[in-house]
């Protein structure tokens, strides 16, 4: 989940470039000359200790994985670390409830940047949901592992249970992508039964920036794998929920969602809307000139501060939930009390011992990671060009958006998909939105041409699987089966 994104936007738009205690663990010694012997099957892994995985093609990378019986006792579950010298990324992996020996594989990351995918696991699409820290988890029937094997990864370094020694950090999406691509290659090389399966890279919010870049790294790595005698990764699709893929198209959409009936009746008073509309052209003009036409740090600071005052401050001043126009925030800084409970649960020592984590403190969202990405202005780089390039190479892309979200709303996501330059642009942009249904009832609207699909989900906020679990599961099941919505 990328609930941290609002705080990052506020930080970025004002250019305020403003750790948990951990157990130090050395990376495995992986030599390039080491002979490669795949493990073969996941179910032989022990629970009491990690099994170390390596590959000579990736001498700086290692993977540790163990069986961890938790969350869903109907399937095998595993946890582990991706070790990149002094950096360590934590992950969960759940086999499919349906047919783990044949079903596709989904990779899931939350956004932020700086938010843990434990939020997606325990609050949204995972095989269990957290009742509260004291009572633990309950079975989640609408989990996305109903018909797919699925990863949840705490990335980049410093997020959730992930950590680094010696103060190392990752501050750009492109750098984070290198680690993800290497992990994917090592995992598929060792667990051969998953080779050739459809691989879908999914996530939400800042995942709209992450995922196209991650998927491109996985795709571009395939020739290297083939040259090394390894099976290529069958990258089948990218799935982005309520994504922030292009900040420039989101700026005017923040006005639309406040001041027009795009999703709900206007939430702002008329005077405020008139003031926002009068200032909006200057905001978008300044932003484009400062970041896209040329990069000018001083003008960036001016443009960001002006845009924040124009678009964000009136919304927050009115007390609205940035992740759901129809709700107020809870006690949590991130508006959902469940996030507080997840942190309490994952900070229990018995839970940490079960998972095999190497740190003593879990943090749902890391301010430090958000600041690192802000310093590098990662958000302003966008990801739409990566989406276009993936589409041209036959990788399918699904953009889904809850209609009640404000910060990464459907108006902004529709705008960039309609403007996207690719060979299917004319066909896609000429099509009207049509209804899609679940059990004969409208679930939202969709537009699809070639490999690109846009889908809205009615009455869902920033976290579609949280608000509409049945509809989101049906959507994903149809998508991975290659069916239209």
Query: Where are the strands (E) in 19-104, listed by range?
Result: 51-54, 61-67, 77-84, 87-94
Out of 27, 68, 96, 205, pick the active-site residue.
Answer: 205
Whole-angstrom Cα distance, residue 302 to residue 374? 16
Axis crossing angle, helix 270-287 with helix 297-307, rounded to the nearest 10: 170
Positive or negative torsion for Cα 374, 376, 382, 386: negative
Count Cβ atoms below 10 Å from residue 192 Cβ, excluding itself. 13
Q: Is 83 a catalytic residue?
A: no
Q: Which residues contact 198 (CB under 8 A, 6 or more apart)?
A: 104, 105, 234, 236, 237, 480
What angle is formed at CA 355 by the lines to CA 354 and CA 356, rounded to 5 degrees?
95
Residues 6 or more apart from 262 whose CB is under 8 A from it? 256, 409, 410, 411
C-beta separation of 223 from 260 below 8 A: no
Query: Distances in Å between the alpha carbon of 393 and those of 12, 18, 232, 397, 423?
Result: 33, 40, 15, 11, 11
Instruction: Given the residues 405, 425, 458, 472, select the one marked as catalytic.
Output: 405
| Helix (H) or strand (E) segment spanning residue 6 | helix 5-14
Q: Of all helices (H) and strands (E), which one includes residue 11?
A: helix 5-14
Share in percent of the chain as helix, strand, coil (round to 5): 40, 20, 40
Pair of tokens at residue 477? 């099941």
Q: Is the CA virtual torsion 83, 389, 207, 401 positive or negative?
A: negative
> Which token pair is 473?
């599961």
Q: Which residues pair with 164 in a beta bridge?
A: 87
Distance CA 433, CA 45 (A): 48
Candidate list 366, 462, 467, 472, residue with the active-site label: 462
Instruction: Record the tokens describing residue 211, joined without a space.
Output: 């995922």
462 as an active site residue: the answer is yes
Q: Quick one: how far is CA 284 from the chain centroid?
A: 26
- Say if strands 235-241 and 396-402 run parallel, antiparallel, or are unpaired: parallel
Q: Give the catalytic positions in this structure.
A: 205, 405, 462
């Amino acid at each position: 989940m990328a609930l941290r994104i609002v705080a990052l936007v506020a930080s970025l738009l004002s250019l305020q470039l403003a750790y948990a205690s951990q157990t130090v663990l050395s990376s495995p010694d992986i030599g390039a000359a080491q002979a490669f012997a795949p493990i073969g099957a996941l179910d032989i892994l022990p629970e009491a200790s990690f099994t170390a995985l390596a590959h000579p093609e990736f001498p700086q990378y290692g993977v540790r994985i163990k069986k961890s019986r938790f969350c869903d006792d109907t399937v095998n579950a595993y946890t582990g670390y991706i070790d990149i010298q002094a950096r360590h990324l934590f992950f969960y992996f759940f086999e499919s409830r349906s047919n783990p020996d044949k079903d596709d594989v989904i990779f899931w990351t939350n956004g932020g940047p700086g938010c843990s995918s434990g939020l997606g696991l325990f609050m949204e699409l995972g095989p269990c949901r957290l009742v509260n820290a004291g009572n633990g988890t309950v079975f989640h029937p609408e989990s996305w592992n109903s018909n797919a094997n699925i990863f949840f990864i705490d990335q980049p370094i410093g997020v959730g249970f992930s950590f680094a020694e010696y103060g190392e950090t990752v501050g750009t999406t492109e750098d984070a992508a290198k680690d993800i691509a290497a992990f994917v290659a090592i995992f598929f090389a060792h667990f051969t039964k998953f080779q050739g399966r459809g691989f879908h890279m999914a996530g939400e919010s800042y995942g709209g920036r992450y995922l196209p870049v991650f998927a491109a790294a996985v795709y571009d790595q395939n020739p290297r794998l083939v040259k090394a005698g390894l099976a290529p990764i069958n990258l089948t699709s990218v799935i982005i929920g309520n994504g922030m893929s292009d900040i420039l198209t989101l700026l005017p959409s923040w006005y639309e969602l406040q001041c027009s009936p795009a999703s709900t009746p206007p939430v702002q008073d008329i005077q405020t809307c008139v003031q926002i509309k009068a200032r909006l052209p200057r905001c978008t003009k300044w932003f484009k000139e400062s970041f896209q036409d040329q990069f000018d740090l001083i003008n960036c600071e001016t443009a960001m501060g002006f845009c924040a005052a124009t678009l964000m401050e009136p919304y927050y001043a009115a007390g609205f939930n940035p992740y759901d126009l129809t709700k107020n925030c809870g006690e949590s800084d991130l508006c959902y009390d469940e996030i507080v409970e997840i942190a309490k649960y994952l900070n229990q020592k018995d839970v940490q011992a079960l998972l095999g984590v190497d740190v003593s403190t879990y943090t749902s969202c890391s301010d430090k990671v958000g600041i690192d990405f802000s310093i590098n202005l990662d958000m302003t780089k966008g990801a739409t060009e990566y989406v276009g390039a993936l589409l041209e190479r036959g990788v399918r892309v699904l953009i889904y958006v809850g209609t009640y979200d404000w910060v990464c709303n459907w108006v902004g996501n529709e705008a960039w998909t309609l403007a996207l330059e690719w060979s299917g642009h004319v066909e896609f942009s000429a099509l009207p939105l049509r209804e899609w249904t679940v059990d004969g009832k409208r679930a939202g609207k969709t537009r699809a041409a070639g490999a690109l699909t846009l889908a809205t989900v009615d009455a869902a906020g920033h976290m579609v699987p949280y608000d509409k679990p049945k509809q989101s599961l049906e959507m994903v099941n149809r998508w991975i089966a290659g069916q239209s919505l």
